[in-house]
């Protein structure tokens, strides 16, 4: 009883800090794109980095909406968490959460979905595997970054790369229309996937900062400190 009450009090606590009065949207986790009622397409993502960012933003005083795909993580304290499954649901939830001052897209959104998901479980047949026809999902980051009305002042994307990490991130900054990209090396040797640590590069219009290897919680806190400074100075 007592423990439950303590957790509730913490969740409801008002934090004050450099982002007090600011609205922040964060996406996190994978999306699941149904093939039939029991099968889906997904990207690998634990949601640890996105959830840590949402929590750090709340601790800095922001009013945070976290739009999360399916993850095995608790909802961060002090954050409004909206649970979604697919990319299309994630886009609807993000649009609903606008306007915001800052939007940080850390979700590993599936690039494609099955054009016609089956309403019944597809049966295994002797004739071989079924053919899946795929169609492109909406790009949530690019959609929000290209908005003319309700575009957040600061739009931040992630680039998970396995090679030429910074080069690919710079190209993504332009193609997505966002202000910053957090580039991280997700090659097998980096151990980032599902791990506690992350080595990232902050790519902005004015250059690249390589941050030391640190915990995902520390990456989140460093990012939120940078965001608060940018918002305060109206820098982009």
Residue ranges that bind ligand C5P, judged by CB under 6 A: 27, 87, 105, 107, 109, 111, 137, 139-141, 157-159
Three-state SS at 235: coil
Catalytic residue among 43, 72, 184, 198: 43
| Nearest distance, CB of residue 177 and ligand C5P, angstroms | 11
Tokens describing residue 162: 């396995």
C-alpha 23 chain-centroid distance: 16
Give whichever of 61 and 66 is closer to ligand C5P, judged by the CB atom: 66
Tokens describing residue 2: 């007592």
- Closest to 20 in 3D by CA, of 75, 73, 60: 60
- Closest to 211 in 3D by CA, of 166, 161, 163, 155: 166
Active site residue 43: yes
Judged by phi (left if over 0) then psi (alpha if -120 to 50, else beta), residue 164 lies in left
**Measured between alpha carbons, how far is 216 from 199 in angstroms, rounded to an integer?**
9
Q: Write out the catalytic residue numbers.
A: 43
């Amino acid at each position: 009883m007592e423990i439950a009450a303590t957790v509730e009090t913490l969740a409801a606590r008002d934090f004050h800090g450099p982002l007090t009065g600011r609205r922040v949207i964060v996406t996190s986790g994978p999306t699941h794109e149904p093939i039939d009622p029991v099968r889906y397409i997904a990207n690998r993502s634990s949601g640890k980095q996105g959830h840590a960012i949402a929590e750090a933003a709340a601790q800095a005083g922001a009013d945070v909406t976290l739009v999360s795909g399916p993850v095995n993580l608790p909802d961060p304290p002090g954050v409004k968490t909206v649970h979604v499954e697919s990319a299309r649901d994630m886009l609807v939830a993000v649009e609903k959460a606008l306007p915001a001052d800052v939007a940080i897209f850390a979700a590993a959104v599936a690039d494609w979905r099955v054009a016609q998901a089956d309403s019944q479980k597809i049966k295994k047949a002797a004739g071989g595997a079924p053919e899946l026809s795929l169609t492109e999902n909406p790009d949530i980051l690019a959609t929000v970054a290209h908005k003319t009305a309700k575009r957040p002042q600061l739009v931040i994307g992630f680039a998970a790369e396995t090679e030429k990490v910074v080069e690919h991130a710079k190209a993504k900054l332009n193609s997505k229309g966002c202000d910053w990209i957090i580039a991280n090396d997700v090659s097998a040797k980096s151990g980032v996937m599902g791990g506690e640590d992350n080595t990232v590069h902050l790519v902005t219009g004015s250059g690249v900062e390589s941050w030391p290897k640190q915990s995902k919680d520390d990456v989140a806190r460093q990012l939120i400190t940078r965001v608060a400074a940018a918002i305060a100075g109206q820098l982009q």
